[in-house]
Structure 1
Amino acid sequence: MSAVLGFPIYRLLKRLLRLFARYKTLLALSLLAPMVVVNALLFYYVEVVVGGRSDLDLWAAFYWAIVTMATVGYGDIVPKTFWGRVVATEAIVAGIAVFTLMVTTLAEFFMHQTLKRIMGWGRLRRVDVVVVGSTEICRESIEELKLNMPGARIGWVLEKRPREIPEDVDFVVGSPTDENTLSRAGIKGAKYLIVCVPSDSKAIHIVLTARRLNRNLRIVAIANSSRAQELLREAGASTV
Structure 2
Amino acid sequence: MPSILALLVSRLTRSQAARLVAVGAVCLLGGAGAFAVTQHLSFGTGVYWAITTATTVGYGDVTPKDTAGRVIASLVMLTTIPLFASAFALFAGAVAAAHVRRLLAVVRAEPTGGEVVVYGDAPVVPQVAATLAGAGRRVIVVSRDQPSGLPQDVRHLAADPTSEGAVRRSHPDRASSLLVTGASDADVLVTAVLLRQAAPGVPTVALARSASVCRALRELGVPVQVSADEVVVQTLAKSLEAPHAGEILLRLMDSDGYRMRELPAGPDDVGQPLGQVRGRHRGLVLGLVRADHVSIGVIEDPVVEAGDQLLVVEPLSPSRSS
More helix by share: 1
Compare relative contact order (CA 8 Å, sep 6+) and give the higher one, 1 or 2.
1
The structure number with the bigger radius of gyration is: 1
More strand by share: 2
- TM-score (normalizing by structure 2): 0.36
